[in-house]
Amino acid sequence: MREAMDSGRGDGVKGEWSNLIQVFTCPEDEATRAVLVHHMRQILFELHDFLIQNVGITEAVSLKKISDRCTDTVLNREPEKRLADVITDVFQEIAPHAVNVASPYFVGHMTAAIPYFMVHLKAIVAALNQNVVKLETSKLLSVLEKQVMAKVHRLIYGNDEAFYREHVQNTHTSLGSFTEGGTTANLTALWVARNKALGPCGTFKGVESEGLAAAYAAHGIDRCVVLVSRRCHYSLRKCGGILGIGNANIISVPVDGTNHMRVDCLAEMIDGFKKEGRVKVMAVVAVVGTTETGNVDRLDEIGAICRQEGIFLHADAAWGGPTLMSETYAPLLDGIDGADSVAMDGHKQFYMPMSCGMIFFKDPTSLDAVAYNANYIIRKGSVDLGSKTLAGSREANCLILDSAFKIMGSRGYGMLIDHGIELARDFAEEIQGRDLFQLVTAPELNILTYRICPRAMREELATASPERILALNDHLNEVNRTLQQEQREAGNSFVSRTVLELETVFPGSPTGKVVVLRSVLMNPLTTLDILRDILDEQEALYADWCEGAIPKKGRCRVGKG
Ligand SMILES: Cc1ncc(COP(=O)(O)O)c(C=O)c1O
């Protein structure tokens, strides 16, 4: 475009203007169109091959090196490049330095391959550029959103036909809404929970209107707490900060040896707060697929306690929610219909592109607790979805999910879920069959953790003194940390790493702060053979480490004794 503007094809400012408005209509010439078609064909029809050929997994590249490429802070006044050149640069200079999260060897995070048609749908969403904050900028897309919400709500809560007929397009009620992700879905749930817990009483108009200080005074309390699993996602602590109750009041309930919230402890803690007085338990959060270990809290038992105590129960199913579509494993989520709200991520196991989350409420009037209206949009009683969402302007993610349901059906999604869970079980067996590795958390869904811990060391750990256990664990933590990094930097595969605080479950079980390798098995192209390759690579790296080919950081020594 710059050339066009500089060459004065038009006359002066008038010419520049006509060139500028060209970008709102179509490519400026045939050559530009040809370049765009060439590149876009690659990502629309040959995405898998394009990513394999052009985008690395996680090779070593210093942050400094990539940061140094992006230090220009001056916004250019004049166009710098032609559109075709900019797009070519994106494909040649930027994409290769992104991460190929779609690789079947990339098994470390909850971001992975997506069906190629998702890219088409995302492009259509961008092209239509609807804003579902209000009907006037989205029309059919707003009502489509309500329909998609109802479909997933039905999957969770399974109410009868009459219920869904009444609410699917009801302008006064809401079964849920799309959010940016799991974090804002959790925040929306706790926002509702806070406003319900600290609602109007007497002359007090409610916390949303008058703030926390007035709310605590009106309700005769000093603080609100939220009880969460110790394995919950860190976003819940953010919610404590944002909602003003303080993140110190997001209180962890201990977990058992299989990473499930201890229901006995939950009951005791609720009891303790009741006795203490002047503390309101605003909500309990159960996790459906813990981020680090993929475990599902016992929703039935937790739900029973919450119902008995009149406490709002939120289920953070950002990861595990889609398991409901598995015809085999859905029962793992029994009791989810007892939750007052359920968060799910579209960009996790609904295999949607970034970014999309969802929040659902059992009671279709729950979102009234956070409703806002304005005169020019989101008028009372309108379909304007923005009246009950944290976000204002929003893209029409419903188009993507609705189309994906049509293309794959819940059975297709269920098969993807089954593949992940069954592959995780096979992988766990493979790990247990090898001398070098110790399975740390067995898979319940499709996430597992393990560590490098040679058999001899495992045997020693079973009978060692507490001091010796500490020293061995310290050493193992260093080995696992170093080798995970080495493997990542080699760039062939990626397994993530976390630190779990574990209690002794049986003699020799990992204890204390344990560095573990974490696998998330959601990519249907990942096979057991690929996972064996990853373990083989780790074995080779360990051999190098023992021979001194990989420098030891020297922080811990494992002498005898
Ligand atoms: C259980 C759980 N909840 C919430 C979140 C936050 O989701 P998001 O990153 O989409 O905000 C995650 C993300 O990993 C998660 O695993």
Pocket test for ligand 1, best of 235, 358, 444 (most atoms within 8 A of CB): 235
Q: What mean pLDDT comes out for the span 248-262? A: 97
Residue nearest ligand 1's atom 16 by CA: 291
Pocket flag, ligand 1, residue 110 (CB < 6 Å) = yes
Distance 114 CA to ligand 1 centre (A): 18
For the entire predicted model, the pTM comes to 0.94
Span 392-441, pLDDT tens digits: 999 999 999 999 999 999 999 999 999 999 999 999 999 999 999 999 99
Contact of 344 with 350, CB cutoff 8 Å: yes
Lowest-pLDDT range, 50-59, 348-357, 365-374?
50-59
Residue 556: predicted pLDDT:
39
Q: What is the pLDDT of the chain when averaged over all its residues?
A: 92
Contact of 367 with 177, CB cutoff 8 Å: yes
Nearest-atom number in ligand 1 for the CA of 185 is 11
Residue nearest ligand 1's atom 8 by CA: 182
Pocket flag, ligand 1, residue 316 (CB < 6 Å) = yes
Span 363-387, pLDDT tens digits: 999 999 999 877 666 666 677 888 8
- For residue 494, give the 3-state DSSP assignment: strand
pLDDT classification of 169: cutoffs 50, 70, 90: very high
Supply the Cα-derived Rg of the chain in whole angstroms.
27
Q: Backbone phi, then psi, for 519, in 5-degree steps?
A: -115, 135
Distance 452 CA to ligand 1 centre (A): 27
Pocket flag, ligand 1, residue 181 (CB < 6 Å) = yes
List the chain domain ranges.
2-100, 131-395, 417-546
Distance 259 CA to ligand 1 centre (A): 17
Pocket flag, ligand 1, residue 349 (CB < 6 Å) = no
Pocket flag, ligand 1, residue 357 (CB < 6 Å) = yes
Q: Evaluate if residue 502 carries a pLDDT over 60.
A: yes
Distance 233 CA to ligand 1 centre (A): 6
Of 195, 142, 168, the closest CA to residue 377 belongs to 142
Pocket flag, ligand 1, residue 335 (CB < 6 Å) = no
Q: What mean pLDDT comes out for the span 139-150? A: 96
- HSE at residue 407, side-chain half, CA atoms within 13 A, is 15
Pocket flag, ligand 1, residue 294 (CB < 6 Å) = no
- For residue 82, give the 3-state DSSP assignment: coil
Nearest-atom number in ligand 1 for the CA of 291 is 16
Span 264-317, pLDDT tens digits: 999 999 999 999 999 999 999 999 999 999 999 999 999 999 999 999 999 999
- For residue 440, give the 3-state DSSP assignment: strand
Pocket flag, ligand 1, residue 185 (CB < 6 Å) = no
- In whole angstroms, give the CA distance from residue 294 to residue 307: 25
Residue 473: predicted pLDDT:
93
Contact of 207 with 223, CB cutoff 8 Å: no
Residue 376: predicted pLDDT:
65
Pocket test for ligand 1, best of 110, 178, 183 (most atoms within 8 A of CB): 183
Pocket flag, ligand 1, residue 350 (CB < 6 Å) = no
Residue nearest ligand 1's atom 14 by CA: 291
> What's the Cα-to-Cα distance from 153 to each of 112, 186, 427, 468, rounded to whole Å?
25, 16, 33, 52
Tokens representing 364? 């279709």
Pocket flag, ligand 1, residue 345 (CB < 6 Å) = yes
Pocket flag, ligand 1, residue 443 (CB < 6 Å) = no
Q: Evaluate if residue 324 carries a pLDDT over 90.
A: yes
Q: Measure the CA dihedral 57/58/64/70, to 10°.
A: 20
Pocket flag, ligand 1, residue 266 (CB < 6 Å) = no
Which residues are CB-contacts of 240 (< 8 A; sequence separation ≥ 6)? 226, 246, 247, 248, 249, 250
Contact of 313 with 300, CB cutoff 8 Å: no
Pocket flag, ligand 1, residue 269 (CB < 6 Å) = no
Question: What is the total residue count of the chain?
Answer: 561
Residue 7: predicted pLDDT:
46
Residue 555: predicted pLDDT:
43
Pocket flag, ligand 1, residue 235 (CB < 6 Å) = yes
Residue 4: predicted pLDDT:
45
Contact of 495 with 107, CB cutoff 8 Å: yes
Tokens representing 436? 């070098």
Q: In the sheet where 279-287 sits, what is the strand order?
A: 176-179, 357-361, 341-345, 312-316, 279-287, 223-229, 250-253
Residue nearest ligand 1's atom 5 by CA: 182
Q: Which fold has domain 131-395?
A: Aspartate Aminotransferase; domain 2 (3.40.640)
Nearest-atom number in ligand 1 for the CA of 345 is 10
Residue 65: predicted pLDDT:
82
**How far does the chain reach from its first CA to its final CA, in angstroms?**
73
Please give the single-letter amino acid code of residue 26. C
Residue 543: predicted pLDDT:
96
Q: Which fold has domain 417-546?
A: Aspartate Aminotransferase, domain 1 (3.90.1150)
Pocket flag, ligand 1, residue 291 (CB < 6 Å) = yes
Q: Evaluate if residue 58 carries a pLDDT over 90.
A: no
Q: In the sheet where 496-502 sits, what is the strand order?
A: 437-441, 447-452, 512-520, 496-502
Span 468-495, pLDDT tens digits: 998 999 999 999 999 999 999 898 999 9
Q: Evaluate if residue 6 carries a pLDDT over 90.
A: no
Neighbours of 67 (CB within 10 A): 9
Distance 358 CA to ligand 1 centre (A): 11
Distance 69 CA to ligand 1 centre (A): 30
Neighbours of 125 (CB within 10 A): 19
